[in-house]
Chain A
Protein backbone atom coordinates (compact mmCIF):
# COMPACT_ATOMS: atom_id res chain seq x y z
CA UNK A 1 0.00 0.00 0.00
CA UNK A 2 1.49 3.31 -1.06
CA UNK A 3 0.62 6.33 0.95
CA UNK A 4 -0.51 9.56 -0.60
CA UNK A 5 2.02 12.38 -0.63
CA UNK A 6 0.83 15.05 1.73
CA UNK A 7 -0.55 18.09 -0.07
CA UNK A 8 0.84 21.55 0.65
CA UNK A 9 -1.54 22.44 3.43
CA UNK A 10 -3.81 19.88 4.95
CA UNK A 11 -5.21 22.18 7.55
CA UNK A 12 -8.57 23.79 7.36
CA UNK A 13 -8.59 27.62 7.07
CA UNK A 14 -7.95 28.97 10.52
CA UNK A 15 -10.43 31.82 10.21
CA UNK A 16 -13.27 29.32 9.71
CA UNK A 17 -15.38 30.39 12.66
CA UNK A 18 -15.65 33.96 13.91
CA UNK A 19 -15.11 33.30 17.63
CA UNK A 20 -16.59 36.68 18.64
CA UNK A 21 -20.04 35.67 17.35
CA UNK A 22 -19.89 32.44 19.36
CA UNK A 23 -18.83 34.35 22.45
CA UNK A 24 -21.52 37.00 22.04
CA UNK A 25 -24.22 34.34 21.83
CA UNK A 26 -22.79 31.94 24.38
CA UNK A 27 -25.91 31.77 26.53
CA UNK A 28 -28.05 30.99 23.49
CA UNK A 29 -25.72 28.22 22.36
CA UNK A 30 -25.61 26.73 25.85
CA UNK A 31 -29.40 26.85 25.97
CA UNK A 32 -29.70 24.94 22.69
CA UNK A 33 -27.34 22.25 23.95
CA UNK A 34 -29.22 21.95 27.21
CA UNK A 35 -32.52 21.54 25.38
CA UNK A 36 -31.04 18.87 23.15
CA UNK A 37 -29.73 16.97 26.15
CA UNK A 38 -33.07 17.21 27.93
CA UNK A 39 -34.96 16.02 24.89
CA UNK A 40 -32.56 13.14 24.49
CA UNK A 41 -32.77 12.24 28.16
CA UNK A 42 -36.54 12.04 27.94
CA UNK A 43 -36.26 9.77 24.91
CA UNK A 44 -33.77 7.57 26.69
CA UNK A 45 -36.08 7.32 29.67
CA UNK A 46 -39.01 6.44 27.45
CA UNK A 47 -36.86 3.86 25.68
CA UNK A 48 -36.63 1.81 28.86
CA UNK A 49 -40.41 1.44 28.95
CA UNK A 50 -40.66 0.46 25.33
CA UNK A 51 -38.82 -2.84 25.25
CA UNK A 52 -40.04 -4.76 22.27
CA UNK A 53 -41.06 -1.61 20.40
CA UNK A 54 -39.13 -0.11 17.55
CA UNK A 55 -36.64 2.51 18.50
CA UNK A 56 -37.84 5.38 16.35
CA UNK A 57 -35.68 8.01 17.97
CA UNK A 58 -32.23 6.50 17.55
CA UNK A 59 -30.77 9.90 16.72
CA UNK A 60 -31.90 11.24 20.07
CA UNK A 61 -30.23 8.32 21.86
CA UNK A 62 -27.06 8.92 19.86
CA UNK A 63 -27.10 12.62 20.70
CA UNK A 64 -27.44 11.87 24.41
CA UNK A 65 -24.52 9.45 24.29
CA UNK A 66 -22.45 12.01 22.38
CA UNK A 67 -23.41 14.77 24.83
CA UNK A 68 -22.40 12.58 27.77
CA UNK A 69 -19.10 11.75 26.03
CA UNK A 70 -18.44 15.50 25.68
CA UNK A 71 -19.39 16.01 29.31
CA UNK A 72 -16.92 13.25 30.16
CA UNK A 73 -14.23 15.19 28.27
CA UNK A 74 -14.85 18.16 30.56
CA UNK A 75 -14.82 15.98 33.67
CA UNK A 76 -11.57 14.32 32.60
CA UNK A 77 -10.02 17.77 32.21
CA UNK A 78 -11.07 18.50 35.81
CA UNK A 79 -9.73 15.18 37.11
CA UNK A 80 -6.41 15.70 35.28
CA UNK A 81 -3.48 16.33 37.64
CA UNK A 82 -1.01 18.46 35.62
CA UNK A 83 2.00 17.67 37.81
CA UNK A 84 1.17 14.14 38.94
CA UNK A 85 3.91 11.83 37.69
CA UNK A 86 2.72 8.41 36.54
CA UNK A 87 4.54 5.24 37.64
CA UNK A 88 7.73 4.48 35.71
CA UNK A 89 9.52 1.15 35.32
CA UNK A 90 12.96 -0.40 34.90
CA UNK A 91 14.70 -1.27 31.62
CA UNK A 92 14.37 -4.97 32.47
CA UNK A 93 10.57 -4.68 32.17
CA UNK A 94 10.60 -3.11 28.69
CA UNK A 95 8.91 -5.05 25.86
CA UNK A 96 11.14 -5.31 22.77
CA UNK A 97 9.98 -4.71 20.15
CA UNK A 98 6.83 -2.86 21.28
CA UNK A 99 3.35 -4.00 20.26
CA UNK A 100 2.17 -2.72 16.88
CA UNK A 101 -1.19 -1.09 16.40
CA UNK A 102 -2.73 1.12 13.72
CA UNK A 103 -5.97 1.32 11.76
CA UNK A 104 -4.45 -1.23 9.35
CA UNK A 105 -2.21 -4.29 9.63
CA UNK A 106 1.55 -4.20 10.10
CA UNK A 107 2.17 -5.46 6.52
CA UNK A 108 0.53 -2.31 5.20
CA UNK A 109 2.76 0.25 6.86
CA UNK A 110 4.46 2.70 4.50
CA UNK A 111 7.92 3.65 5.85
CA UNK A 112 8.75 7.33 5.94
CA UNK A 113 11.97 8.47 4.22
CA UNK A 114 13.90 10.26 6.98
CA UNK A 115 16.02 12.21 4.46
CA UNK A 116 12.94 13.79 2.86
CA UNK A 117 10.80 14.00 5.99
CA UNK A 118 9.88 17.40 7.39
CA UNK A 119 7.73 18.43 10.33
CA UNK A 120 5.44 21.30 9.41
CA UNK A 121 4.15 23.71 12.05
CA UNK A 122 0.90 25.64 11.88
CA UNK A 123 -1.58 27.63 13.91
CA UNK A 124 -0.76 29.65 17.01
CA UNK A 125 2.99 29.23 16.65
CA UNK A 126 5.52 32.05 16.21
CA UNK A 127 8.28 30.14 14.40
CA UNK A 128 6.74 27.99 11.67
CA UNK A 129 9.98 26.89 10.04
CA UNK A 130 9.74 23.15 9.27
CA UNK A 131 11.96 20.75 11.22
CA UNK A 132 14.21 17.97 9.87
CA UNK A 133 15.40 14.69 11.38
CA UNK A 134 18.89 16.16 11.91
CA UNK A 135 17.48 19.13 13.82
CA UNK A 136 15.50 16.84 16.12
CA UNK A 137 18.67 14.85 16.85
CA UNK A 138 20.23 17.98 18.34
CA UNK A 139 17.48 18.54 20.91
CA UNK A 140 17.90 17.49 24.56
CA UNK A 141 16.48 14.02 25.20
CA UNK A 142 14.12 12.86 27.92
CA UNK A 143 13.58 9.15 28.56
CA UNK A 144 10.28 7.66 29.71
CA UNK A 145 9.79 4.02 30.73
CA UNK A 146 6.03 4.00 30.97
CA UNK A 147 3.00 1.80 30.50
CA UNK A 148 1.20 1.97 27.16
CA UNK A 149 -2.50 1.19 27.56
CA UNK A 150 -4.72 0.50 24.56
CA UNK A 151 -8.43 1.30 24.57
CA UNK A 152 -8.94 -2.40 23.78
CA UNK A 153 -7.53 -3.38 27.18
CA UNK A 154 -3.98 -4.60 26.50
CA UNK A 155 -0.85 -2.91 27.78
CA UNK A 156 2.95 -3.10 27.78
CA UNK A 157 5.90 -1.21 29.22
CA UNK A 158 7.86 0.83 26.69
CA UNK A 159 11.07 2.85 26.79
CA UNK A 160 10.78 6.06 24.79
CA UNK A 161 13.08 9.03 24.40
CA UNK A 162 12.88 12.37 22.67
CA UNK A 163 12.37 16.04 23.34
CA UNK A 164 10.03 17.08 26.13
CA UNK A 165 6.94 18.38 24.37
CA UNK A 166 6.52 21.45 26.58
CA UNK A 167 10.12 22.44 25.85
CA UNK A 168 9.53 21.96 22.13
CA UNK A 169 6.34 24.04 22.20
CA UNK A 170 8.17 26.80 24.09
CA UNK A 171 11.02 26.67 21.58
CA UNK A 172 8.72 27.20 18.59
CA UNK A 173 6.87 29.99 20.41
CA UNK A 174 3.55 28.16 20.65
CA UNK A 175 0.64 29.83 22.46
CA UNK A 176 0.58 27.67 25.58
CA UNK A 177 -2.83 29.07 26.49
CA UNK A 178 -4.38 27.61 23.33
CA UNK A 179 -6.81 24.74 23.89
CA UNK A 180 -5.57 22.02 21.55
CA UNK A 181 -2.53 20.59 19.84
CA UNK A 182 -3.40 18.68 16.71
CA UNK A 183 -1.32 16.22 14.69
CA UNK A 184 -1.27 15.07 11.06
CA UNK A 185 0.50 11.87 10.13
CA UNK A 186 2.13 10.38 7.03
CA UNK A 187 -0.46 7.56 6.99
CA UNK A 188 -3.39 10.04 6.94
CA UNK A 189 -4.05 9.38 10.62
CA UNK A 190 -4.85 12.50 12.59
CA UNK A 191 -5.49 13.32 16.22
CA UNK A 192 -5.40 15.97 18.88
CA UNK A 193 -4.79 16.42 22.59
CA UNK A 194 -5.64 19.08 25.16
CA UNK A 195 -2.95 21.63 26.05
CA UNK A 196 -2.77 20.45 29.69
CA UNK A 197 -1.68 17.00 28.49
CA UNK A 198 0.76 18.52 25.97
CA UNK A 199 2.42 20.40 28.83
CA UNK A 200 2.53 17.42 31.23
CA UNK A 201 6.14 16.61 32.26
CA UNK A 202 5.76 13.06 30.87
CA UNK A 203 4.73 14.02 27.35
CA UNK A 204 7.48 13.82 24.71
CA UNK A 205 8.00 13.81 20.95
CA UNK A 206 9.71 10.44 20.77
CA UNK A 207 12.47 9.62 18.29
CA UNK A 208 13.90 6.54 20.02
CA UNK A 209 12.70 3.26 21.50
CA UNK A 210 14.99 1.32 23.86
CA UNK A 211 17.77 3.82 23.04
CA UNK A 212 17.62 3.05 19.28
CA UNK A 213 15.87 5.15 16.59
CA UNK A 214 12.19 4.20 16.43
CA UNK A 215 11.65 1.58 13.75
CA UNK A 216 9.17 1.99 10.89
CA UNK A 217 6.15 0.18 12.40
CA UNK A 218 6.28 2.33 15.52
CA UNK A 219 6.38 5.78 13.98
CA UNK A 220 9.82 6.63 12.53
CA UNK A 221 10.99 9.36 12.57
CA UNK A 222 8.68 11.12 15.03
CA UNK A 223 5.75 10.16 17.21
CA UNK A 224 4.00 11.42 20.30
CA UNK A 225 4.31 9.55 23.60
CA UNK A 226 2.22 10.85 26.43
CA UNK A 227 2.01 8.92 29.68
CA UNK A 228 -1.51 10.08 30.49
CA UNK A 229 -3.48 9.05 27.38
CA UNK A 230 -4.69 5.83 25.78
CA UNK A 231 -2.51 4.46 22.98
CA UNK A 232 -4.55 5.84 20.09
CA UNK A 233 -3.95 9.39 21.37
CA UNK A 234 -0.25 8.97 20.50
CA UNK A 235 0.05 9.63 16.74
CA UNK A 236 2.93 8.02 14.84
CA UNK A 237 4.80 9.24 11.71
CA UNK A 238 3.88 12.84 12.57
CA UNK A 239 4.24 15.26 9.64
CA UNK A 240 2.53 18.38 11.00
CA UNK A 241 1.65 19.93 14.34
CA UNK A 242 -0.91 22.70 14.77
CA UNK A 243 -1.69 24.69 17.91
CA UNK A 244 -5.30 25.79 17.79
CA UNK A 245 -8.43 26.84 19.66
CA UNK A 246 -10.70 25.13 17.14
CA UNK A 247 -11.65 21.59 18.18
CA UNK A 248 -9.68 19.34 15.82
CA UNK A 249 -11.17 15.88 16.55
CA UNK A 250 -9.27 12.78 15.54
CA UNK A 251 -9.40 9.60 13.44
CA UNK A 252 -10.93 7.34 16.11
CA UNK A 253 -12.67 10.19 17.95
CA UNK A 254 -14.64 11.10 14.82
CA UNK A 255 -15.75 7.44 14.77
CA UNK A 256 -17.25 7.64 18.27
CA UNK A 257 -14.36 7.04 20.66
CA UNK A 258 -14.07 9.47 23.55
CA UNK A 259 -11.93 12.47 22.63
CA UNK A 260 -10.11 13.14 25.90
CA UNK A 261 -9.34 9.45 26.55
CA UNK A 262 -7.04 10.34 29.41
CA UNK A 263 -5.87 7.53 31.66
Chain B
Protein backbone atom coordinates (compact mmCIF):
# COMPACT_ATOMS: atom_id res chain seq x y z
CA UNK B 1 0.00 0.00 0.00
CA UNK B 2 2.07 2.87 -1.27
CA UNK B 3 -0.84 5.18 -1.96
CA UNK B 4 -0.10 7.31 1.08
CA UNK B 5 3.46 8.02 -0.04
CA UNK B 6 2.53 8.66 -3.68
CA UNK B 7 -0.09 11.22 -2.88
CA UNK B 8 2.22 13.37 -0.78
CA UNK B 9 4.68 16.06 -1.74
CA UNK B 10 7.89 17.33 -0.19
CA UNK B 11 6.04 19.56 2.22
CA UNK B 12 3.96 16.78 3.80
CA UNK B 13 4.83 15.94 7.39
CA UNK B 14 7.01 12.96 8.23
CA UNK B 15 5.45 9.86 9.77
CA UNK B 16 7.21 10.68 13.08
CA UNK B 17 7.81 14.43 13.27
CA UNK B 18 10.95 15.52 15.13
CA UNK B 19 9.16 16.27 18.45
CA UNK B 20 7.74 12.74 18.51
CA UNK B 21 11.16 11.21 17.92
CA UNK B 22 12.81 13.35 20.61
CA UNK B 23 10.08 12.56 23.14
CA UNK B 24 10.20 8.85 22.22
CA UNK B 25 13.92 8.53 22.95
CA UNK B 26 13.82 10.67 26.10
CA UNK B 27 11.00 8.42 27.29
CA UNK B 28 13.01 5.31 26.43
CA UNK B 29 15.99 6.59 28.45
CA UNK B 30 13.82 7.66 31.40
CA UNK B 31 12.02 4.29 31.41
CA UNK B 32 15.28 2.32 31.45
CA UNK B 33 16.51 4.37 34.42
CA UNK B 34 13.17 4.13 36.25
CA UNK B 35 12.91 0.36 35.79
CA UNK B 36 16.56 -0.43 36.61
CA UNK B 37 16.60 1.76 39.72
CA UNK B 38 13.09 0.63 40.70
CA UNK B 39 14.25 -2.99 40.73
CA UNK B 40 17.04 -2.10 43.16
CA UNK B 41 14.60 -0.24 45.43
CA UNK B 42 12.20 -3.21 45.26
CA UNK B 43 14.97 -5.61 46.32
CA UNK B 44 15.23 -3.90 49.73
CA UNK B 45 11.72 -5.06 50.68
CA UNK B 46 10.36 -7.53 48.16
CA UNK B 47 6.63 -7.97 47.51
CA UNK B 48 7.12 -11.57 46.38
CA UNK B 49 9.56 -13.80 48.23
CA UNK B 50 10.48 -15.65 45.05
CA UNK B 51 11.39 -12.51 43.14
CA UNK B 52 14.67 -10.64 43.59
CA UNK B 53 16.25 -8.76 40.69
CA UNK B 54 19.91 -9.68 40.11
CA UNK B 55 22.20 -6.74 40.90
CA UNK B 56 23.67 -6.63 37.39
CA UNK B 57 20.20 -5.76 36.07
CA UNK B 58 19.77 -2.84 38.44
CA UNK B 59 20.85 0.80 38.40
CA UNK B 60 22.28 2.84 41.28
CA UNK B 61 24.65 0.49 43.13
CA UNK B 62 23.06 0.68 46.58
CA UNK B 63 19.53 1.63 47.60
CA UNK B 64 20.52 5.28 48.16
CA UNK B 65 21.96 5.54 44.66
CA UNK B 66 18.95 3.76 43.17
CA UNK B 67 16.63 6.22 44.95
CA UNK B 68 18.68 9.15 43.60
CA UNK B 69 18.40 7.83 40.04
CA UNK B 70 14.70 7.06 40.47
CA UNK B 71 13.87 10.55 41.75
CA UNK B 72 16.01 12.11 39.01
CA UNK B 73 14.48 10.18 36.13
CA UNK B 74 10.95 10.70 37.43
CA UNK B 75 11.19 14.36 36.38
CA UNK B 76 12.44 13.35 32.95
CA UNK B 77 9.57 10.87 32.60
CA UNK B 78 6.85 13.15 33.96
CA UNK B 79 7.79 16.35 32.13
CA UNK B 80 8.45 14.51 28.87
CA UNK B 81 5.24 12.52 29.30
CA UNK B 82 3.17 15.66 29.88
CA UNK B 83 4.67 17.24 26.75
CA UNK B 84 3.80 14.07 24.81
CA UNK B 85 0.18 14.06 26.00
CA UNK B 86 -0.29 17.76 25.22
CA UNK B 87 1.33 17.25 21.79
CA UNK B 88 -0.72 14.12 21.05
CA UNK B 89 -4.03 15.79 21.82
CA UNK B 90 -3.21 19.25 20.44
CA UNK B 91 -1.95 18.06 17.05
CA UNK B 92 -4.62 15.39 16.69
CA UNK B 93 -1.94 12.69 16.40
CA UNK B 94 -3.66 10.46 18.98
CA UNK B 95 -7.00 10.71 17.16
CA UNK B 96 -5.43 10.13 13.75
CA UNK B 97 -3.15 7.25 14.62
CA UNK B 98 -4.82 5.50 17.54
CA UNK B 99 -8.55 5.89 16.80
CA UNK B 100 -10.88 4.21 16.19
CA UNK B 101 -10.20 0.75 17.60
CA UNK B 102 -12.82 -1.60 16.12
CA UNK B 103 -13.56 -4.88 17.89
CA UNK B 104 -13.94 -6.82 14.61
CA UNK B 105 -10.63 -5.45 13.32
CA UNK B 106 -8.96 -6.21 16.63
CA UNK B 107 -10.05 -9.87 16.60
CA UNK B 108 -8.83 -10.37 13.02
CA UNK B 109 -5.52 -8.58 13.69
CA UNK B 110 -4.97 -10.42 16.98
CA UNK B 111 -5.39 -13.78 15.22
CA UNK B 112 -2.85 -12.74 12.59
CA UNK B 113 -0.43 -11.47 15.21
CA UNK B 114 -0.60 -14.70 17.20
CA UNK B 115 0.27 -16.61 14.02
CA UNK B 116 3.21 -14.22 13.62
CA UNK B 117 1.66 -12.85 10.45
CA UNK B 118 2.92 -9.33 10.98
CA UNK B 119 1.37 -7.16 8.29
CA UNK B 120 3.66 -4.20 8.87
CA UNK B 121 4.41 -3.54 5.22
CA UNK B 122 2.75 -0.15 5.69
CA UNK B 123 4.38 1.30 8.78
CA UNK B 124 2.32 4.48 8.49
CA UNK B 125 -0.84 2.73 9.67
CA UNK B 126 -1.35 0.90 12.95
CA UNK B 127 -3.53 -2.21 13.03
CA UNK B 128 -6.11 -2.60 15.80
CA UNK B 129 -3.77 -4.64 18.05
CA UNK B 130 -1.08 -1.97 17.78
CA UNK B 131 -3.61 0.79 18.48
CA UNK B 132 -4.85 -0.97 21.60
CA UNK B 133 -1.28 -1.61 22.80
CA UNK B 134 -0.28 2.03 22.31
CA UNK B 135 -3.42 3.41 23.98
CA UNK B 136 -3.00 0.82 26.73
CA UNK B 137 0.63 1.68 27.46
CA UNK B 138 -0.18 5.40 27.66
CA UNK B 139 -2.91 4.64 30.22
CA UNK B 140 -0.57 2.30 32.15
CA UNK B 141 2.16 4.96 32.33
CA UNK B 142 -0.33 7.55 33.62
CA UNK B 143 -1.44 5.08 36.33
CA UNK B 144 2.22 4.29 37.01
CA UNK B 145 2.98 7.96 37.67
CA UNK B 146 -0.06 8.25 39.96
CA UNK B 147 0.80 5.11 41.96
CA UNK B 148 4.42 6.33 42.13
CA UNK B 149 3.27 9.63 43.62
CA UNK B 150 1.17 7.65 46.12
CA UNK B 151 4.22 5.57 47.15
CA UNK B 152 6.36 8.72 47.44
CA UNK B 153 3.82 10.86 49.32
CA UNK B 154 1.21 8.58 50.96
CA UNK B 155 0.53 11.26 53.60
CA UNK B 156 0.64 14.51 51.59
CA UNK B 157 -1.38 12.78 48.86
CA UNK B 158 -3.36 10.57 51.26
CA UNK B 159 -6.46 10.93 49.07
CA UNK B 160 -4.52 9.53 46.10
CA UNK B 161 -3.03 6.68 48.18
CA UNK B 162 -6.56 5.77 49.31
CA UNK B 163 -7.43 5.15 45.63
CA UNK B 164 -4.86 2.33 45.73
CA UNK B 165 -6.26 1.16 49.12
CA UNK B 166 -3.18 2.06 51.20
CA UNK B 167 0.62 2.35 51.05
CA UNK B 168 1.21 -1.34 50.28
CA UNK B 169 -1.65 -1.24 47.76
CA UNK B 170 0.13 1.66 46.03
CA UNK B 171 3.39 -0.34 46.02
CA UNK B 172 1.62 -3.34 44.48
CA UNK B 173 -0.03 -1.26 41.74
CA UNK B 174 3.34 0.42 41.08
CA UNK B 175 4.93 -3.03 40.75
CA UNK B 176 2.20 -4.35 38.42
CA UNK B 177 2.48 -1.18 36.31
CA UNK B 178 6.21 -1.87 35.96
CA UNK B 179 5.48 -5.47 34.92
CA UNK B 180 3.02 -4.23 32.27
CA UNK B 181 5.55 -1.73 30.94
CA UNK B 182 8.31 -4.36 30.79
CA UNK B 183 5.90 -6.67 28.95
CA UNK B 184 5.13 -3.89 26.47
CA UNK B 185 8.82 -3.17 25.94
CA UNK B 186 9.51 -6.84 25.14
CA UNK B 187 6.80 -6.88 22.44
CA UNK B 188 7.57 -3.36 21.19
CA UNK B 189 11.31 -3.94 20.82
CA UNK B 190 10.72 -7.42 19.42
CA UNK B 191 8.46 -6.12 16.67
CA UNK B 192 10.79 -3.18 15.95
CA UNK B 193 13.61 -5.67 15.34
CA UNK B 194 11.38 -7.81 13.09
CA UNK B 195 10.32 -4.75 11.07
CA UNK B 196 13.55 -2.70 10.74
CA UNK B 197 11.78 0.02 8.70
CA UNK B 198 9.68 0.85 11.75
CA UNK B 199 12.78 1.11 13.93
CA UNK B 200 14.60 3.23 11.35
CA UNK B 201 11.61 5.55 11.09
CA UNK B 202 11.94 6.44 14.78
CA UNK B 203 15.40 7.84 13.95
CA UNK B 204 14.83 9.36 10.51
CA UNK B 205 11.17 10.31 10.79
CA UNK B 206 10.10 7.75 8.21
CA UNK B 207 8.20 8.38 4.98
CA UNK B 208 6.22 11.54 4.34
CA UNK B 209 2.53 11.11 4.91
CA UNK B 210 -0.39 13.09 3.50
CA UNK B 211 -1.15 16.28 5.35
CA UNK B 212 -3.69 15.22 7.98
CA UNK B 213 -5.82 18.30 7.31
CA UNK B 214 -5.91 17.70 3.56
CA UNK B 215 -6.81 14.06 4.18
CA UNK B 216 -10.04 14.95 5.91
CA UNK B 217 -12.93 14.58 3.44
CA UNK B 218 -14.85 17.77 2.74
CA UNK B 219 -18.23 17.87 4.48
CA UNK B 220 -20.94 15.94 2.68
CA UNK B 221 -18.57 13.94 0.51
CA UNK B 222 -18.63 10.16 0.40
CA UNK B 223 -16.12 8.83 2.94
CA UNK B 224 -13.22 7.20 1.15
CA UNK B 225 -10.47 4.95 2.44
CA UNK B 226 -8.34 6.85 4.98
CA UNK B 227 -5.09 7.97 3.44
CA UNK B 228 -2.85 8.33 6.47
Complex Cα gap A227–B167 (Å)? 14
Residues 47-61 of chain B: 1 if any A CB is under 8 Å from the residue's CB, otherwise 0? 000000000000000
Which residues of B (151-178) have their CB < 8 Å from a CB of A?
152-156, 158, 162, 166-168, 171
Q: Is the CB of B156 within 8 A of A65?
A: no
Residues of A within 8 A of B64 (CB): 252, 255-257
* Cβ-defined partner of A153 (8 Å) among B45, B69, B156, B158: B45
Q: Is the CB of A263 within 8 A of B156?
A: yes
Q: Is the CB of A68 within 8 A of B71?
A: yes
Complex Cα gap A87–B67 (Å)? 25
Residues of A within 8 A of B75 (CB): 68
Question: How far, in Å, is A233 (CB) from chain B's closest CB?
Answer: 12
Q: Could you tell me how many residues of chain A have their Cβ less than 8 Å away from some Cβ of chain B?
A: 30
Residues of B within 8 A of A263 (CB): 152-156
Say yes or no: is A168 at the interface (Cβ < 8 Å to chain B).
no
Residues 137-161 of chain A: 1 if any B CB is under 8 Å from the residue's CB, otherwise 0? 0000000000101111111000000
Question: How far, in Å, is B121 (CB) from chain A's closest CB?
Answer: 32
Question: How far, in Å, is B44 (CB) from chain A's closest CB?
Answer: 4
Interface residues on B, range: 20 to 34
Question: How far, in Å, is B95 (CB) from chain A's closest CB?
Answer: 32
Which residues of B (30-76) have their CB < 8 Å from a CB of A?
41-42, 44-45, 62-65, 67-69, 71-72, 75
Q: Is the CB of B167 within 8 A of A155?
A: yes
Known: A87-B158, A149-B154, A263-B156. A68 touches B42 (CB 8 A): no
Known: A80-B156, A256-B64. A68 touches B72 (CB 8 A): yes
Residues of B within 8 A of A123 (CB): none
Question: How far, in Å, is B187 (CB) from chain A's closest CB?
Answer: 23
Complex Cα gap A258–B66 (Å)? 11
Say yes or no: is B29 at the interface (Cβ < 8 Å to chain A).
yes
Complex Cα gap A153–B75 (Å)? 21
Q: Is the CB of B156 within 8 A of A150?
A: no
Q: Is the CB of A228 within 8 A of B167?
A: no
Of chain B, the residue at the smallest CB distance from A67 is B72
Known: A72-B71, A153-B41. A86 touches B158 (CB 8 A): yes
Question: How far, in Å, is A199 (CB) from chain B's closest CB?
Answer: 15
Residues of B within 8 A of A64 (CB): 72
Say yes or no: is A69 at the interface (Cβ < 8 Å to chain B).
yes
Of chain A, the residue at the smallest CB distance from B69 is A65
Complex Cα gap A153–B70 (Å)? 14
Binding site for B on A (CB under 8 A): 48, 64-66, 68-69, 72, 79-81, 84, 86-87, 147, 149-155, 227-228, 252, 255-258, 262-263
Task: Offer 8 A-B interface pairs, CB within 8 angstroms, sorted by A.
Answer: A84-B158, A87-B158, A87-B162, A152-B45, A257-B67, A263-B153, A263-B154, A263-B155
Q: Which 6 A-B pairs have the closest CB atoms?
A: A153-B45, A256-B64, A152-B44, A86-B155, A65-B68, A152-B45
**A69-B71, A87-B158 known, 9 other contacts, Cβ within 8 Å:** A72-B71, A84-B158, A147-B166, A151-B67, A152-B45, A153-B45, A227-B155, A228-B156, A262-B155
